[in-house]
């Protein structure tokens, strides 16, 4: 019976990418530990559990969501790359890397089936772009420093706003792109 190859693949990918998330969360917790609202909660006698639930978790949630949306495209690209090399997903399961690999196999000097490579690669590229765009928009929308009016032009100073609009507009645009991508896949 044993563990199948796809389970081992997911465990390896999870083991590789959870370390960075753990470092980000640890750094955020260390920075939140010295904030005034945590000190004031300690001074009124709040327990550690209450401080974690009421102050730390809500402040960590936005960081985790944004980092997760920026990590998913990297994981997808890693999986597609390994599947393209033949080390990832195996048939009958489907992956964009596996589809591109199958397209490479059928190219001959006589007939070139270019669409078998271009369309899976294009679908992967559009999805990665849309997810990165979504992560950028969520970062702009959920960053508490950008919502604070005392910080003047913080969004413009680091690329927010401008020709791409605010974070909320970015999220809406990205969700529209992803929905269009899914409806195209459903039609195939």
pLDDT tens digits for range 96-129: 888 888 888 887 777 777 888 888 889 889 998 8
Residue in the block written with tokens 């269009």: 180
Report helix angle 115-142 to 57-85, nearest 10: 170
pLDDT in tens, 126-177: 998 888 888 888 877 776 666 655 544 444 444 444 444 555 565 666 565 5
Residue 134's pLDDT is: 86
Residue 172's pLDDT is: 63
Query: What's the CA angle centered on 37, arms 31 and 38, to 5 degrees?
Result: 60
- Work out how many domains the chain is built from and give that number: 1
Cα–Cα distance between 87 and 6 in angstroms, integer?
10
Q: How confident is the model at residue 15 (pLDDT cuts 50, 70, 90)?
A: confident
Structural domain that includes position 103: 5-187
Alpha helices in the chain (DSSP H): 5-33, 36-43, 48-51, 57-85, 96-105, 115-142, 144-147, 154-157, 167-187
Average pLDDT over residues 38-45: 87
Alpha helices in 34-114 (DSSP H): 36-43, 48-51, 57-85, 96-105
Residue 158's pLDDT is: 45
Average pLDDT over residues 70-92: 85
Residue 115's pLDDT is: 83
In this predicted structure, which of 17-21, 167-171, 184-188 has the lowest mean pLDDT?
184-188
Cβ neighbours around 72 below 10 Å, total: 17
Between 174 and 18, the more confident residue is 18
Mean pLDDT for the chain overall? 77
């Amino acid at each position: 019976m044993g563990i199948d190859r796809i389970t081992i693949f997911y465990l390896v990918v999870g083991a590789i990418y959870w370390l960075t998330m753990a470092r980000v969360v640890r750094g955020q917790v260390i920075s939140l530990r010295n904030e005034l609202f945590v000190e004031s909660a300690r001074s009124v006698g709040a327990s550690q559990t209450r401080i974690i639930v009421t102050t730390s978790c809500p402040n960590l949630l936005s960081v985790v969501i944004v980092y997760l949306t920026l990590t998913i495209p990297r994981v997808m690209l890693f999986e597609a790359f390994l599947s393209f090399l033949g080390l990832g997903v195996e048939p009958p399961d489907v992956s964009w890397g596996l589809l591109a690999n199958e397209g490479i196999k059928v190219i001959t000097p006589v007939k070139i089936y270019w669409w078998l490579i271009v369309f899976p690669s294009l679908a992967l590229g559009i999805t990665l772009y849309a997810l990165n765009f979504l992560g950028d928009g969520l970062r702009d929308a959920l960053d508490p420093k950008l919502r604070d009016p005392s910080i003047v032009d913080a969004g413009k100073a680091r690329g927010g706003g401008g020709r791409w609009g605010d974070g909320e507009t970015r999220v809406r645009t990205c969700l529209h792109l992803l929905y269009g991508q899914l409806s195209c896949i459903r039609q195939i």
